[in-house]
Structures are given as structure tokens and as C-alpha cells.
Amino acid sequence: MTGLTARGRRSAFTLIELLVVVSVIALLMSILMPSLRAARDQAKKVKCMANLHAIGVALFSYADDNRQELPGYLTIGQYGYRVATGRKTDPNGPPEAWGVQSVLESGTAPKVLPNGLARPIPVDKPFYLASDSEVWLCPANPGLWGREDEWKDWGNGYAYRQNSRGTPSADNPRPNKLNYNLDWLARKTKVAIKSPLVWDNFGRYPGEAGFIGPFNEGYSVPRVHRSPPHRVIGGKKKDSAKYWIAFFARGHCQINVENKEWVWDADWDPEEDTEGGTGS
């Protein structure tokens, strides 16, 4: 009996041994967690860039079929961030028919009805890119301030190029035509740098589904509540707004950190910036 008791005691952990093991595990976790978090964030950045590249390829395909012109300001319903085709921002409102997603899915602008509303053009197969494709959702997007639970239902986490400078008229129905010409954008280095085609949206609420914009007051996220989706481990809080991703007219994606000319600051908005030409 004594021998069995001794063997039983030898096979058990002492309290000190248990505390040592727990301490080692805690130490390893504290060392590995930042690396794991950084790897996870990097994977989200890679996925986001792949999403934007897929959208960019669809935009280029549209331009190839339309004299190198991207979907223009009027074509997308005069607003750069809209919900996916058929989605609603108001349960009692019309479904979305405008926006770059609808244009890329159907290959053309929506059909405008006599009452001024529009309906999505039904398609059996997406022309360039499906409106409900998962590539429209950034994997790191936390949503928009005050409406964090809605953004997945919107089916879109990316804003599209918007340039509303110039009012259409009978003499000049497309005053900003050049701003959507791919050849012109690719030649204008400064414009191509400062005005990407499509990017992580964290500054705009979606335009009202089914209606033509522009949408101004009440559709912009207050700057103090704008939260870029991609974090940077070890970066300063004041630099966090530099880390968002866009697809450029030159055909590449870029994280906004290396390019010093393209920085989100308190006085600049990519949808409001018109520097580099009006297209008139």
C-alpha cells in the first residue's frame, strides 16, 4: 500500500509545477498573440486588395467596351457609395437600381421609369461582375458609425469614384467626362494618385436606394467617428487613418501609407477632391 501511494504521489503535479506551466503558457500567448493578430490583419489586407482588384478588372472590362470610359457620375446615379442591386435602405422604399454594382452587373445604366424612379435591369448572367458577389465586402470593415449592424445588409463596403464638379446642360451634358476616361486618368499622374477609382469606404453612408442623387447633408460620417477598416499593429493612433486600400486607374491596389501625396487628413476627402482637372 505504501508503494502504491508513493507511486501515485510521484505521478501528480505539485502546485508550484502547475503554476510554472500556467506562467509559461501565459508568456507564450503574450509573445504569440501580437504576431497572430498581425498575421490575421495582413490576411484581411490581402483579401481586401484581391477584392478591389476584381472590381478594378470589371471596371476595366466595362471601359474596354465603352471607348475607355468608366461608369460616369450620371450613370451611377450621382453618388459614389450605394447599396447592392435590389437592396433597400428603407423597407418601404424602392430597391436599388443605380450604383456601380448595378452597372457592372447589367452592363449598362438602369431603366428610368416615367415616374422618375428606376428599376434594375434583370440579367441571367452578370455582364462584368455580380452585384451580390462577396468581393464587394471588405473583410475588415467594421461598419459605419451608428449603423454598424446594417452594412452587411447593404452588400457593399467600397466607395466608387465620384466627381460632380460641373452641372450637366444641353450644351455640355457630360461636363466631367474626362474624369471617367481611363486613358486620361492613367496619363494624369497626380489625378491617378489622389483620386483612386474604388476604395475602402468609411466616410459615407449609402445613398437612398432607388433614387438619383446627389446625397449631401446627413450622408457623411462625422470625421471624429470615421474608423478605417485596416489596423496597423504598433502604429500611432494619429496615423491609423492612413491605412485604407484603393484600386487606382493605373491598375494596381495600394495601401495608403507609402504614398505621401495621398493621405486622408482633416481637410481632404477623395470624393470631394477635384484637383487635377474638371474634365471640361
Predicted confidence (pLDDT) per residue in 3-23, tens digit: 555 555 556 668 777 777 777
Residue with the larger pLDDT of the pair 220 and 36: 220
> What is the pLDDT confidence band of residue 276, given thresholds at 50, 70 and 90?
very low
Here the cell at position 255 is: 495601401
**Quick check: is 30 in a domain?**
no
How many separate domains does the chain show? 1
**Quick check: is 194 in a domain?**
yes
Would the pTM of this model clear 0.85, i.e. be above it? no
**Quick check: is 223 in a domain?**
yes
Residue 58 in this model has a pLDDT that exceeds 90: yes
Q: Work out the percent of the chain whose per-residue pLDDT is above 90.
A: 32
Of the candidates 68, 94, 98, the residue with the CA atom closest to the CA atom of residue 81: 98
Q: What is the CA radius of gyration of the chain?
A: 25
**Quick check: is 277 in a domain?**
no
> What is the pLDDT confidence band of residue 170, given thresholds at 50, 70 and 90?
low
Separation of alpha carbons 51 and 47, rounded Å: 6
**Quick check: is 204 in a domain?**
yes
**Quick check: is 34 in a domain?**
no
Q: Which domain holds residue 117?
A: 41-255
Of the candidates 208, 212, 204, the residue with the CA atom closest to the CA atom of residue 270: 204
Q: How far is CA 205 from CA 25, 141, 231, in A?
A: 44, 13, 21
> What is the pLDDT confidence band of residue 249, given thresholds at 50, 70 and 90?
confident
**Quick check: is 260 in a domain?**
no
Residue with the larger pLDDT of the pair 82 and 195: 82
What pLDDT does residue 198 have?
92
Among 38-42, 83-87, 219-223, 264-268, the range scoring the smallest mean pLDDT is 264-268
Residue 176 in this model has a pLDDT that exceeds 80: no
Separation of alpha carbons 58 and 275, rounded Å: 26
What pLDDT does residue 227 have?
81
Q: Work out the percent of the chain whose per-residue pLDDT is above 70.
A: 71
**Quick check: is 270 in a domain?**
no
Helix (H), strand (E), coil (C) string for 182-241? HHHHHHCHHHHHHCCCEEECCCECCCCCCCCCCCCCCCECCHHHCCCCCCCCCCCHHHHH
